[in-house]
Amino acid sequence: MIHRFSYTAPTELTDLLALLETAGPGAKLLAGGTDLLVNIRNGLVKPNTVVDVKRIPEAHAIMSDNTKGLRIGWAVTINDILKNTDIASSYQLLQTCAHDLASYQVRNRATVVGNIVNASPCSDMAPALLCLDASIEIASSKAYRTVPVRQFFTGVKRTVLNPDEMVIGITIPIQSKGAKGKYRKLKRIQGHDLGIIGVAVAQVGDGMRIGVSSAAPTPVATGNLPLDISVSDAIAVVDALISPISDVRCTKEYRRFMVSEFTRRLLVEVRA
Amino acid sequence: MRINVTVNGIAYERDVAENRTLLRFLREDLGLTGTKEGCGAGECGACTVFFNGKTVNSCMVLAVEANEGTIETIEGESSGGMLSTLQEAFDRHHAVQCGFCTAGMIMSARELIHHTPHPTVDQIQEGLEGNFCRCTGYEQIIEAVLDVTGGYTAKEELLHV
Amino acid sequence: MYENNDPSTLAYVGKSVLRKDTGEKLTGTATYVSDMVLPGMLYAQVKKSPHARARIVKVDTSKAKALAGVRAVLTGDDLDYRIGLYIVDKNILAKGEVRHYGEAVAAVAATSLEIARKAVDLINVEYEVMQPVLNHMDALKADAVLVHPDLGSYEFIEAAFTPVPKTNIANWTKLRKGDVEAGFNEAAYVVEREYDNPSVQHVPMETHVAIVRWGARDKVTIWSSAQSPFTVRNLFCHTFALPLGNVRVVVPAVGGGFGGKAGIHLEPLVACLSKQAGGLPVKLQASREEEFSLLPCRSALTYRIKTGVAQDGKIIAQKMEMFWDAGAYADYAVNVTRASGYSASGPYEIPNAWVDAYTVYTNKPYGTAYRGFGHVEFHWGIERHMELVARTIGMDPLEFRRRNALHPGSITLTGEKITSHTGDVVACMEAVARSIGYGKLTAAEKKRELASGRKIGKGIALLQKAPAMPSNTATAAVIKMNSDGSVTVNIGLTEIGQGSTTALAQIVAERLGFDIANVHVMVDKDTESDPYDWQTVASKGLIMSGNACILACEDLLRKGYAVASHVLKACVEDLAHDGENVYVRHDTENCIPWKSIAIGYAYPDGKGIGGPLIGVGSYIAQGLSNLDKQTGQGKPALDWTFGAHGIICEVDPVTGEYVVRKVASAFDVGKVVNPALLRGQIVGGMIQGLGTATCEGYIYDDAGHLLNPSFTDNKIPTARDLPMEIETIVVENSQIDGPYGARGVAEHPMISVAPALGNAIQSAVDADLAHMPIRFEDVWRAMHDNHPIDNWITKTPAGSCRSDPAARIHTPDSAISP
């Protein structure tokens, strides 16, 4: 890397938030680094300070209880999700999506929060989090707020975060516990690849929800659909949500077709 | 920044630039060139090493992140001139051609065997998917891993007609 | 070298001997040029063109030169050397005009990589952007922009190539056999169609890298990740007008080549930087992104085939037109065109044939050698076309191939007669057909179809290839005996992963009758100490260096026996040997250990005789000739290797998604030298072929910017992309002049994987595919008869600028005349 920056690794959240307030937009948070470090290498991001957020113990916590649901700390990695037995038994859709994200050694580094904060349209975790109605916990040195994940993304690579704010956790409500769902990602190869499109279908309580990645400027999801919604109605709802583009991975026609087709198949599978 | 890091059991204290990747730190500052760079962008796995017990693409880790941490590389895989059982299996199964992916491949295979001692072929394929090999077509690598984990059944290399 | 190859008498040939180079490669101690650091070494970086075609108005390097730590800065104006393998058309740095995206415009050497990068950023280049010519079919139009207006003045190799001045045609290879028009008139069916391949990247895991030190008195040392050290030396000396003795090329371990490192690439530029920096060594390693556009790729191909077939399914006439997209420079592409031209029909007998093969300049990154040397690309066309013709005339595709396949007595396109020891392509075809259960689905497969909703298809494709090399290609081996009785073998052939080091050790151990532990084949190459080898390319290493090694063994034994006959006081004719001793046949206790004569024998009284035992073997391709430039007739092939792939795939009839369930591959290798090495070549090549068949390829926008120069959007197969089942099959019809009967098979596994897959997909869901790669969307479109997406030049984010539709033929039905 040619770009020079300073590096700091606070060990207390309050220090980290204070730093964010003073550092301004020149500070970039480093969690897994799987996006940030590539972007610095490619000259797309030129931070003056890189703030390592992993040295604070609570960053790595996964907490599951029977009243508040599931809480994922800001530096929990994708493989942490895959190895967690509570998530395996109660929030299986998260694991299904996590499992399709990149390669094993990338999953050792990449974080769930990073996958959301990066706000890529092809986020693999977003369809699950959208379907499971996750809340994003946002903190600054002055304030704390939560934002439903469906309001978190504002555009390609854009979120509601202010420069002095950071995501400190993701909460999945207890109502989503036990949801059953499936995720299907269209890739160019069987091995690790960014999604051409991805569709998650989940039965959460008495509703059906469908989340889609790589088919709109942000990951998108339907609201609570009736459990017995017809396949054609569900497809119509999803089709209205998406606005795919053509790029080097695929044309928009095929993207639209495949979102419908995956929706159709996953609805049948989830109901089975 | 001054860092303390243990690599293959040896403690090092070094000054590194904040923007130095762990990969370049290992190769250029410590002279451990067994770990290779294939893409520099976390896609190919040639630079895979263990960082605090977990495999990572060292091109996508800053050396300063490894402060107070432990690193293991291919140079620590054999000991006293003796190849590890995994290395021996790679040799037996011709799992090496040009050798440029080999270090990373061995690291990922070791990680896989650590968390899945008796992997299926599917699990091996998944465990190694982050390590590109352009030479072998992977089959003999998979057989080598099966061999050290007890899942290998010997067969003829070729069918003669 | 026809040797006895009865397996019962062989100790090493035919056995899966372990590789000789794994001790270092498995422990991370093998040294690649990437790993090397020399005292005082500088680091180079390159300023690259962001445009496909532009006039260089001004290059301002003042800020770069002023940066502390910068030792050399060069632009095209500073250099007056042109390079080129066959047509000398490339400046070391662009002069006056850039001709492709990613072309080197300026370069710096500095005391650190960071400073070099910063310096490159500080170079300011002012361009006047010009309209590029991007599609090779457009480049053939009368009013096309000329990529090289001065083509007519370039130096080129006249014996083999025909550039056409004032056009974009860098080479026009012609082949004429019989009378095609008469053949078409006689034919019961005429089927015509066009097939496309994109450019693809070799993707060696080690990117191109070179270190050069231009020392005092023009003594130059080059350390390079290269396949062909002697070619690097020859071309380097030609460019800089240096005597060969001034330049030393060293090649240590190489992290993969696949043809991309066959020629000369970064070395001249790095040398110029070293010279300017006062002779300090300079290192330049391409980034992965640079590997895609600063360094060359595989040429794209458009292939038109018109076939006339008799009522009984025999091909009577075939007209073949190949349009190879060279990109901006000719490099190997002109020779790919030539080699593909004379092999254009694949392994079939065509009594009346017409080939026009053109290499066409465009403003894109340029093409070079790539495993298969054109045969992967044109076999996609030929083997899809054979399928189409068979379907059109209502004949089983396998039977149609059988009727037309080369067999003993057949005459090839260039007039060569096939014999029983050339190899048997039909045996390969039948072996893979059996392996995949061609032509029908088993009960289990039918059940699987019903359960999964996916359609199962089976397809087959054949292939052939001979080494593409000069008719007088030569190599040599030197075998030196050490004082412990072991031998050290020097050859100029490089070890790029293919395993030649090990296979040649087996041949030497076999021929000498020595324990293979006592045979050391040197891995690192050095033009100053190794004997000449033309290049490590063309699947000719085993056959040519193998023969040279056998000759060197003979020479060594002869010299050893001469000394032993004195010492043992016996006739040479009465001597025999084993791994330890030379002995008298009828008096075996009268013997002398090899180690006692290895560096000269000392009699008990102290007198010496003999001296170091060194065996030398030289081998040159024999019986080959240049091809007639008007008719293409002649003998270009040292050995033809035939093969076939059979594929079972499972296709989703709604979405076009598919998985490859099984690949069976068969080759007539003459003689297997090392089964495990061979399987590594077959599976590795097949998977590389599957990569280009399924997902790899360059994608440009309509300004000629490469849109996918990284692993993010140029995927290659991973461990998860293996077929569920792989079968590797060998046929062994000895090559009479091959070592122990062996012939080359390094490139062949990659050839015809794509058409076997295309044919399997067509048999599953009737998707008629004419372009590679076969992405799921392509299958989906083909199933619905939608226009294929224009793969290789797309507007951003959508649309296309494909060539004039009138210039293309995509109507097989209308082209069929009764």
Please state the separation of Cα C19 from the chain's center in Å: 22
The shortest C-alpha distance from B87 to chain A (Å) reads 20
The pLDDT confidence band at residue B4, using thresholds 50, 70 and 90, is very high
Q: Do B62 and A37 touch (CB under 8 A)?
A: yes
With beta carbons under 8 A apart, name residues in chain A contacting B111. Answer: 104-105
What spatial distance separates the first Cα and last Cα of chain A, rounded to whole Å? 51
Query: By mean pLDDT, which of A111-125, C449-463, C778-792 is the weakest?
Result: C778-792
- Which residues does chain C have within 8 Å of residue B32's beta carbon, measured at their own beta carbons? 28
Interface with chain C: mutation pick from B100, B126, B148, highest number of C CBs within 10 Å? B100
Are A246 and C777 an interchain contact pair (Cβ–Cβ within 8 Å)? no
Q: CA-CA distance, C593 to C614, in Å (whole number)?
A: 16
Residue C185 has pLDDT above 70, yes or no: yes
**Cβ count near C634 (within 10 Å):** 18
To the nearest whole Å, the CA of B57 is away from the closest chain A CA by: 6
CA distance C507 to C542: 10
| Neighbouring C-alpha atoms within 13 Å toward the C-beta of C203 | 29
Looking at every residue in chain C, the average pLDDT score rounds to 94
DSSP state at residue C548: H
Q: How far off is chain A from C381, nearest CA to CA, in Å? A: 23
Model confidence at C818: pLDDT above 60: no
C204 and B98 in contact by Cβ < 8 A? yes
- Closest CA in chain B for residue A52: B65
Are A34 and B42 within 8 A, CB to CB? yes
Gap from A138 CA to chain C (nearest CA, Å): 31
Confidence of residue C786 (pLDDT cuts 50, 70, 90): low
Query: Which CATH number is A179-271's, of 3.90.1150.10, 3.40.630.30, 2.30.33.40, 3.30.390.50?
Result: 3.30.390.50
- pLDDT one-digit tens code per residue, C672-701: 999 999 999 999 999 999 999 999 999 998
Mind telling me how many Å the CA of A153 is from chain B's nearest CA?
25
- CB C708 to CB A191 under 8 A? no
CB A156 within 8 A of CB A121: yes
- Averaged confidence pLDDT in chain A: 96
Domains, chain B, with CATH or none: 2-76 (3.10.20.30), 85-148 (1.10.150.120)
- B140 in contact with C, Cβ within 8 Å: yes
The reply to whether residue B159 touches residue C726, judged by beta carbons under 8 angstroms, is no
Return all residues near C467 (Cβ < 8 A) that are at least 6 apart: C473, C537, C538, C539, C540, C543, C637, C638, C639, C744
For the purposes of burial, counting CB atoms within 10 Å of the CB of C80, is it exposed (0-12), middle (13-18) or buried (19 or more)? exposed
Query: What letter represents residue C86's amino acid?
Result: Y
Q: Torsions phi, psi of C488, nearest 5?
A: -115, 130
| Best residue of C27, C434, C720 to probe chain B, by most B CBs closer than 10 Å | C27
Vertex C725 angle, CA A185 and C431, to 5°: 140
- CB contact under 8 Å between C718 and B130, yes or no, is yes
Q: Are C572 and C513 in contact (CB under 8 A)?
A: no
Whether the CB-CB separation of A244 and A236 falls below 8 Å is answered with: no
Q: What are the tens digits of pLDDT across the range B23-79? A: 999 999 999 999 999 999 999 999 999 999 999 999 999 999 999 999 999 999 999
Domains and CATH numbers, chain C: 7-30+473-620 (3.30.365.10), 33-132+208-285 (3.90.1170.50), 300-468+625-807 (3.30.365.10)
In the stretch 695-714 of chain C, residues with CB closer than 8 A to chain B read: 710-712
A105 touches chain C (CB under 8 A): no
Nearest to A1 among B21, B64, B67 (CB): B21
- In this complex, the chains that touch C, judged by 3 or more CB pairs closer than 8 A, are A, B
> Which chain C residues are within 8 Å of A191, Cβ to Cβ?
715, 717-721
Query: Which chain B residue lies closest to C731 (C-alpha atoms)?
Result: B161
**Closest chain C C-alpha to A122 CA, distance in angstroms:** 13
- Cα–Cα distance for residue pair C496/C493, rounded to 1 Å: 9
C443: how many CB neighbours lie within 10 A of its CB?
Answer: 7
Task: Of A36, A38, A17, give the one whose Cα is nearest residue A28.
Answer: A36
Count Cβ neighbours within 10 Å for each residue of B74-103 and write b for 16 or more, e otherwise. Answer: bbbbbeeeebbebbbbbbbbbbbbbbbbbb
**A104:B40 CB<8 A:** no
Q: Specify the pLDDT at position C804.
A: 32
Q: Is the peptide bond before A148 cis (omega within 30 degrees of 0)?
A: no
| CA neighbor of C465 nearest in space, from C695, C259, C245, C770 | C259
pLDDT above 70 covers a percentage of chain A that reads 100
User: Of B41, B62, B67, which is closest to A38 when you measure between CB atoms?
Assistant: B41
- The distance of A192 to chain B (nearest Cα, Å) reads 7
DSSP 8-state code for residue C19: P
Put simply, the answer to whether A109 touches B62 (Cβ < 8 Å) is no
State the pLDDT at residue C788: 60
CA-nearest residue of chain A to B52? A108
Contact indicator for C58, B136 with CB cutoff of 8 Å: no
Q: Angle between the C546-568 and C500-512 helix axes, to the nearest 10 degrees?
A: 30
pLDDT in tens, C563-592: 999 999 999 999 999 999 999 999 999 999
CA distance C198 to C286: 23
| pLDDT of C784 | 86
B-chain residues near C718 (CB < 8 A): 125, 128-132, 138
Cα(A120)–Cα(A157) distance, rounded to whole angstroms?
A: 5
Residue C720 contacts A where some CB pair is shorter than 8 Å: yes
- Answer yes or no: do A37 and B61 touch at CB < 8 A: yes
pLDDT tens figures, A220-257: 999 999 999 999 999 999 999 999 998 889 889 999 99
Contacts of C775 in chain A (CB under 8 A): 188
Computed from CA positions of residues C522, C528, C534, C538, in that sequence, does the dihedral angle turn out positive or negative? positive
Give the torsion through C-alpha atoms of A188, A189, A190, A194, to 10 deg. Answer: -50
Chain B residues whose CB is inside 8 A of the A105 CB are 45, 48, 54-57, 108, 111, 130
Tokens encoding C134: 């991007």
Measured in degrees and rounded to the nearest 5, phi and psi for residue C276 equal -70, -30
Beta bridge partners of residue A135, listed in sequence order:
A148, A171
Report strand pairing: C42-48 vs C282-285: parallel
Burial class (CB in 10 A: 0-12, 13-18, 19+), C566: middle
A58-175 belongs to CATH 1.10.1040.10:
no
The mean per-residue pLDDT over the stretch C720-747 comes to 97
Can you give the pLDDT at residue C5?
80
Q: How far is CA C450 from CA C228, C445, C453, C650, C761, in A?
A: 53, 9, 5, 12, 17
Q: Are strands C282-285 and C209-214 parallel, antiparallel or unpaired?
A: antiparallel
Alpha-carbon distance of C482 to C17, in angstroms, equals: 22
At C496, which amino acid appears?
I
> What is the structure's pLDDT at C801?
26
> Quick one: CA dihedral A205, A209, A211, A216, positive or negative?
negative
A224 touches chain C (CB under 8 A): no
Q: Which of residues 46-105 of B touch A (CB under 8 A)?
A: 48, 54-57, 60-62, 64-65, 67
Out of 3.40.50.11750, 3.40.50.300, 3.30.43.10, 3.30.2350.10, select the CATH number for domain A6-52: 3.30.43.10
> Could you say which DSSP state residue C242 is in?
-
Write the burial class of residue C146 (CB in 10 Å: 0-12 exposed, 13-18 middle, 19+ buried). middle
User: With a CB-CB cutoff of 8 Å, which residues 531-590 of chain C face chain B?
Assistant: none
Nearest-angstrom CA–CA distance, C405 and C418? 11
Q: Which chains touch A (3 or more CB pairs under 8 A)?
A: B, C
Are the C-beta atoms of C227 and C535 separated by less than 8 Å?
yes
Give the CA distances from residue C575 to residues A49, C586, C589, C592, C780, in Å, rounded to whole numbers and listed in that order.
79, 9, 12, 11, 72
Q: What is the 3-state secondary structure (H, E, C) of C487-516?
A: EEEEECCCCCCCCHHHHHHHHHHHHHCCCH
Residue B120 · residue B131 · CB < 8 Å: no
Interface touch C708/A248, C-beta < 8 Å: yes
Contact residues on chain B for C680, CB-CB shorter than 8 A = 94, 97, 135-137, 140
A157 membership: H or E segment, kind and range? none
Angle, CA of A95, A98 and A103, to the nearest 5°: 135
Q: At C810, is the secondary structure helix, strand, or coil? A: coil
pLDDT cut 90: percent of chain C above it? 93
Helix (H) or strand (E) holding B91: helix B85-92
pLDDT in tens, C476-525: 999 999 999 999 999 999 999 999 999 999 999 999 999 999 999 999 99
What's the N-to-C CA distance of chain C in angstroms?
A: 51
The CB density around residue C384, as the number of other CB atoms within 10 Å, is 27
The helix (run of H) or strand (run of E) holding residue B160 is strand B159-160
C282 vs B: CB within 8 A: no
From A119, A58, A108, select the one nearest B65 (Cα to Cα).
A108
Intervals of CATH 3.30.465.10 along chain A: 58-175
CB contacts < 8 A (A, C): 60
Question: pLDDT-based confidence at C793, cuts 50/70/90?
Answer: very low
How far apart CA C385 and CA C309 sit, in angstroms, is 12
Both tokens assigned to B17:
């630039």
The first and second tokens of residue B78, run together, are 């054999």
Q: Is A253 left (phi over 0), alpha (psi -120 to 50) or beta?
A: alpha
Amino acid code (one letter) for C296: P
Write out chain C residues lying below 8 Å of B46, CB-based.
Answer: 205
Query: What whole-number percentage of chain C has pLDDT above 70?
Result: 96
Cα separation, C1 vs C475, whole angstroms: 14
For residue C358, give the nearest of C293, C314, C398, C300 by alpha carbon: C300
Nearest Cα residue in chain B from A79: B54
DSSP string of C561-610, one letter each residue: HHHHHHHHT--GGGEEE-SSEEEETTEEEEEEEHHHHTEEEE-TTS-EEE
**Residues belonging to chain A:** 272
State the best of C16, C18, C22, C663 to mutate against chain B, taking most chain B CBs within 10 Å. C22
Contact C253 B161 (CB under 8 A): no
Maximum pairwise Cα distance, chain C: 92
Tokens of C436: 């995949």
Residues of chain A with CATH 3.30.390.50: 179-271
Surface-to-core class of residue C732, CB atoms within 10 Å of its CB (0-12 exposed, 13-18 middle, 19+ buried) = buried
Q: Does C453 touch chain A (CB under 8 A)?
A: no
pLDDT(C805) > 70: no
Nearest chain A residue to C708 by CA distance is A248
Do A106 and B130 count as a contact with CB atoms less than 8 A apart? yes
Predicted pLDDT of residue A30:
98
Name the average pLDDT for chain B: 97
